Amino acid sequence: MFLGTSAGVPTRDRSLSSMALIWKGEVILFDAGEGTQHNMLKAGISPMKVTKVFITHLHGDHILGLPGLIMTMDLLGREEPLMVYGPKGLNAFLSCLLPTIYEDSVDFRVESAEIAERGLVVEEKDYRVFAARSLHSVEAWAFKFEEKDRPGKFNEAAAKRLGVPPGPLRTALTRGTPVTVRGRTIEPRDVVGPPRPGFKMVYTGDTAFSEEIVELSRGVDLLVHEATFESSKADSARKVMHSVSRDAAKVASMAGVKQLILTHVSARYQDVNTILKEAKEEFNGVKVAKDLMELEIE
């Protein structure tokens, strides 16, 4: 769910950078620009379900919605801790800001972690989040959300044929342990299909074209890449370390992703047709995000 898709300043239609990944009842935010909580309300996403916030960089349009969101969580009586991950300076942002607005003693734990190096940031039971460097004017990180591969399908018919009874033997096989039935060794692959690949997504935040993001995005299902400008602005985009739509499409194409969504569109473009058209020339499976646009994860 895209909560804000503008760049730098809001427009009437586009609020500031934020995206929510709704993952089995847990809400994971990527960036939290001013107005994030307003668009969460419109989208019907409860602040209480947000477990983690990943901040790509500390420019105001990516972070200034975080304090208000924390304040709202506090007013709503939240007790569960909130984890915030981001670049160097994140701890200072929170520790200097919250006391000045009398939120230094919120009734739940706000834990922030500054990312020190590329690689694994979070590991949960069924997913991991990785960070890689973006190419921006200040320290900035792109994030990859990676669902762990799910076990293969259990082949009921094969198990029956091989005489494996329901119960602990089948459980062992699904967990990858060979078992012996009537003196014969049965391998997991005899009754369990190949592991099914999990959902994988990259969210770039602000960045110029970056090989490192191509690497991070290799084969993902969804690449959410910034495309601040039309391609005619390539020179000025490079100067301010942003992407034009063709940069984003090139990353998608080189990385072989399944789907590309462009976001962080400059407020100057009320009409995004050119941005979309230029990207399509490089990569067909592309859309331009709108506020409150929703994608289903298969």
User: CB of residue 27 vs a second copy: minimum separation in angstroms?
Assistant: 17
Q: CB nearer to a second copy: give 95 or 232.
A: 95
- String marking each residue 66-105 x if it binds a second copy according to CB under 8 A: -xx--xx--xx------------x--xx--xx--xxxx--
User: CB of residue 290 vs a second copy: minimum separation in angstroms?
Assistant: 16
Stretch that binds a second copy, among 56-64, 143-151, 200-208, 270-278 (CB under 8 A): 56-64
- The type of residue at 223 is L
Determine which helix (DSSP H) or strand (DSSP E) holds 73, and give its type and residue range: helix 66-75
**How many CB atoms neighbour CB 37 within 10 A?**
21
Angle at 193 between CA 189 and CA 197, to 5 degrees: 125
292 binds a second copy (CB under 8 A): no
Stretch that binds a second copy, among 65-73, 194-202, 227-235, 248-256 (CB under 8 A): 65-73
Distance from C-alpha of 40 to C-alpha of 292, rounded to nearest angstrom:
9
Residues 6+ apart with CB under 8 A from 51: 26, 27, 28, 80, 82, 83
User: CB of residue 142 vs a second copy: minimum separation in angstroms?
Assistant: 19
Number of residues that bind a second copy (CB under 8 A): 37
Q: CB nearer to a second copy: give 77 or 119.
A: 77
Distance from C-alpha of 260 to C-alpha of 127, rounded to nearest angstrom:
21
Q: CB nearer to a second copy: give 15 or 243.
A: 15
Angle at 61 between CA 57 and CA 67, to 5 degrees: 85
User: CB of residue 62 vs a second copy: minimum separation in angstroms?
Assistant: 9
- String marking each residue 131-170 x if it binds a second copy according to CB under 8 A: -------x--------------------------------
Strand partners, 244: 229
Q: Kindly tell me which residue out of 20, 45, 50, 59 binds a second copy, with binding defined by CB under 8 A.
A: 59
Determine which helix (DSSP H) or strand (DSSP E) holds 63, and give its type and residue range: helix 60-63
Q: List C-alpha distances in Å: 29 to 118, 129, 189, 233.
A: 19, 12, 38, 30
**By CB neighbour count within 10 A (0-12 exposed, 13-18 middle, 19+ buried), where does 272 fall?**
buried
User: CB of residue 34 vs a second copy: minimum separation in angstroms?
Assistant: 4
The contact set with a second copy (CB under 8 A) reads 8-12, 15-16, 33-35, 37-38, 41-42, 58-61, 63-65, 67-68, 71-72, 75-76, 89, 92-93, 96-97, 100-103, 138
